[in-house]
Every structure is written in C-alpha cells, then in structure tokens.
C-alpha cells in the first residue's frame, strides 16, 4: 500500500481518456445554473511537473499528452477536423502552462477546480501521507481554494456520507490506484451505496485493463450495479497497443452511470482520433457502448 504515485502516470493515454471524458461531464452538468457538487474520490497530488521527478522517470506523458499534441499540430496543418472535446481538453492542459512546451500536467483536482462556478463545490479525497500534503499545498495556491474541501480519509468509506449533495446535483469521479486488489470490491460497494443514496448522480469510474480477473470482470459488475437501480450507462475503452507482457499499461476504460446524452457523440468523434494519435501498433482500438434505462 502507498507505493502508487500518480506522477509516474501524469499525462499518459489513460489520463487523456479520463480527463477528456471528465471535462465533457462537467461542461454538460454546468449547462444548468443550479449548484453542482463534484467529488473526486482519489485525487492524487493535483498537478504534476513533467520536467522533473517521477513523471520524467516514467516518461508516460511521451506516449500520451506529448504524442497527442504533436499529432494534432501536424493534422491541423493538413486541415483535418479536430474533435471539439479534444480541442477543449488540450486547451485545458495548455492553460496551466506558460507556452506550448508543456512543463506541467494538471490532474483531476486542478482540472475540476478551474471549472468551478461560484455556486459549485469540489470535495477531494487523498489517503497517501505524502500526496495529501502536496495536494493541500497545491490547492491553497488556487483562487478557487475556498470552494474546495480536502479530506485525508478513505473515500470508499466516506463517499456515501456526502450524498446526496444539498443541491441534488452531483458528479463523482472514482479513480482508484487499484494497487490493492481489494479496491475492485471496495469500489463496487461504494458505488452501490452511493446509488442507494443518490440515484440520479453522475458517476464516472476509471479502471485499468490488465490481466487480472477483477479487472476483466469490473465492467460487467458495474453494468449489473447500474441495472439494479435502473440507471443508464456508457462504457468506453481506449487501447493504444496490443503487445505481449505488461511492462506498461496498454489500455484503460471509463464507465459512466447516468451519462449525459451528449457524451456518446463527443466520444465517438474523439476516440478514432485518439486511436490514430496514440496507437503504437495495429492492436490500437476503442470501444464505445451505452445503455439507456
Ligand atoms: N484522480 C487523479 C487524477 O486524475 O489526476 C489520480 C488519482 S490516482 C489514480 C489514485 C490516488 O488515490 C492515489 O494518489 C492514492 O494515494 C489515492 N488513494 C488510494 N486509496 C485511496 C482511498 N481509499 N481513499 C482516498 N484516496 C486513495
């Protein structure tokens, strides 16, 4: 426990899928003026230096955000259409950087904090003893800090206590490290409990696609959880390569319960571009499925 540091994975293909989806969810939910409560159950450090430390060691951003940026620059020259959600995602990452040479990558807390309107609130959970201090320090620098609560607590246990939010409008990002294989079971229980208390909330779960029984079973488990509450869902996966062994993460997925009706269209435009931009061999592909309750 606690060997996971998200800085190793900042700006990876998995972050791109997660953060691009997240941006669209917030944008849709903010179309209505009512206050929105956003819970980020697994926050990490908030923002990451790509030029130094863990991120530099792993270099995962090279196969992620840097690769996407280069692909988009070259295709913009050839006038190929750029999906709206990719454009917005790149603008959001760029906004944290002084110029086109990206030196930092915002994690979900910074992406979400920047989108807060005065009526919105953000609740961040982080358990890692070092990450929580870095996260608190980073959040204090933000003008939106007063709208943000940071909890050094186990979010799987605490999530239900925050639901339903006072305005009954809420988005929950569940992005565990899956360092402990029990995380799969904790996640399912937390999701069931959350839906019992707040069935109309929007829940977005990220997961790695790895050769572990719990990982392969997770999408079907979440479909069952959504079906038990008569909830709609959207399931998407992005694979950047199919290669023997698991030296690095080759694919990941997002499962969204109560997705906005616009999400499928946005992802159907973005995913083929992400496969072309980030694909490393002909095993690169995407999946996009949904169910309307
Ligand atoms: N959501 C972040 C982003 O997109 O930038 C990345 C989060 S990272 C995948 C997962 C984080 O959850 C790690 O920093 C880990 O320390 C933290 N964590 C693990 N178990 C937790 C728990 N039960 N409650 C809260 N945080 C936890």
Whole-number pLDDT of residue 55: 76
Q: What per-residue confidence (pLDDT) applies to 78?
A: 64
Q: Is the pLDDT of residue 35 over 70?
A: yes
204, 187 contact by CB (below 8 A): no
Residues 272 and 9: their CA atoms lie apart, in Å, by 22
Question: Which atom number of ligand 1 is nearest to the Cα of residue 128?
Answer: 16
Q: What CATH number matches the domain at 6-291, 3.40.50.10540, 3.40.50.150, 3.30.2310.20, 3.40.50.2020?
A: 3.40.50.150
Atom 16 of ligand 1 has which residue's CA nearest to it?
A: 128
Phi and psi at 51, nearest 5°, equal -100, 0
Ligand 1 center from residue 42 Cα (angstroms) = 3
- Cα(43) to ligand 1 centroid in Å equals 5
Q: What is the mean pLDDT of the chain?
A: 95
For the entire predicted model, the pTM comes to: 0.97
To the nearest 10°, report the CA torsion of 77, 78, 84, 88. -20
Q: Given this model, what pLDDT does residue 82 score?
A: 79
Residue of the CA atom closest to atom 23 of ligand 1: 154
Question: How far is Cα 242 from Cα 265, in angstroms, rounded to an integer?
Answer: 26
Q: Domain residues of the chain, as ranges? A: 6-291
The predicted-structure confidence for 89-105, as pLDDT tens digits, reads as follows 999 999 999 988 999 99
Gap from CA of 202 to ligand 1 centroid (Å): 19
Cis peptide before 224 (omega within 30 of 0): no
Atom of ligand 1 nearest to the CA of 206: 9
Query: What region, left, alpha or beta, does residue 46 occupy, with left being phi > 0 and alpha being psi -120 to 50 degrees?
Result: left
- Ligand 1 atom at minimal distance to the Cα of residue 15: 4
17-25 mean pLDDT: 98
* Centre of ligand 1 from the C-alpha of residue 86, in Å: 24
As for ligand 1, residues whose beta carbon falls within 6 Å of it are: 4, 6, 18, 40, 42-44, 107-108, 125-128, 131, 154-156, 175-177
Distance CA 98, CA 89 (A): 16
Question: Can you tell me the mean pLDDT for 188-204?
Answer: 98
- Measured in Å, residue 156 CA sits from the centre of ligand 1 at 11
Q: What is the pLDDT of residues 209-240, one digit of tens each?
A: 999 999 999 999 999 999 999 999 999 999 99
Which position among 40, 175, 180, 229 bears the catalytic label? Answer: 175
pLDDT band per the 50, 70, 90 thresholds, residue 183: very high
Residue of minimum CA distance from atom 4 in ligand 1:
108
Report residue 1's pLDDT band, with 50, 70 and 90 as the boundaries: low
Q: Is 158 exposed, middle or buried (0-12, 13-18, 19+ CB in 10 A)?
A: middle
Query: Residue 137 pLDDT more than 80?
Result: yes
* Residue closest by Cα to atom 1 of ligand 1: 43
Ligand 1: atom nearest CA of 2 is 16
Ligand 1 pocket: which of 2, 5, 6, 58 to mutate (most atoms within 8 A of CB): 6
- pLDDT at site 80: 64
Ligand 1 atom at shortest distance from the alpha carbon of 48: 5
Confidence of residue 125 (pLDDT cuts 50, 70, 90): very high
Residue 79 has pLDDT above 90, yes or no: no
Percent of all residues in the chain with a pLDDT value above 70, rounded to a whole number: 98
Mean pLDDT check: name the lowest of 73-77, 168-172, 284-288: 73-77
175 is catalytic: yes
């Amino acid at each position: 426990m606690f060997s996971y540091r998200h800085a190793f994975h900042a700006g990876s293909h998995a972050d791109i899928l997660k953060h691009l989806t997240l941006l669209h969810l917030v944008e849709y939910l903010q179309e209505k003026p009512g206050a929105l409560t956003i819970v980020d159950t697994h926050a990490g450090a908030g923002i990451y230096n790509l030029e130094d430390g863990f991120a530099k060691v792993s270099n995962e951003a090279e196969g992620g955000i840097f690769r996407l940026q280069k692909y988009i620059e070259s295709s913009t020259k050839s006038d190929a259409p750029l999906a709206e959600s990719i454009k917005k995602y790149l603008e959001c990452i760029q906004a944290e950087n002084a110029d086109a040479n990206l030196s930092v990558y915002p994690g979900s807390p910074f992406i979400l904090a920047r989108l807060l309107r005065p009526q919105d609130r953000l609740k961040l959970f982080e358990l890692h003893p070092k990450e929580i201090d870095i996260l608190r320090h980073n959040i204090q620098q933000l003008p939106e800090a007063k709208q943000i609560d940071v909890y050094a607590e186990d979010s799987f246990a605490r999530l239900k206590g925050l639901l339903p939010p006072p305005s009954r409008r809420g988005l929950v990002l569940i992005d565990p490290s899956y360092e402990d294989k029990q995380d799969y079971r904790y996640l399912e229980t937390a999701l069931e409990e959350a839906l019992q208390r707040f069935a109309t909330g929007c829940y977005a779960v990220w997961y790695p696609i790895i050769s572990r029984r719990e990982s392969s079973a997770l999408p079907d488990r979440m479909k069952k959880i959504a079906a038990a509450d008569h909830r709609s869902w959207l399931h998407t996966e992005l694979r950047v390569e199919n290669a023997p062994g698991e030296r690095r993460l080759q694919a990941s997925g997002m499962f969204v319960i109560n997705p906005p009706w616009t999400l499928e269209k946005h992802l159907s435009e973005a995913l083929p571009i992400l496969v072309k931009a980030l694909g490393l061999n002909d095993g690169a592909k995407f999946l996009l499925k949904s169910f309307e309750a």
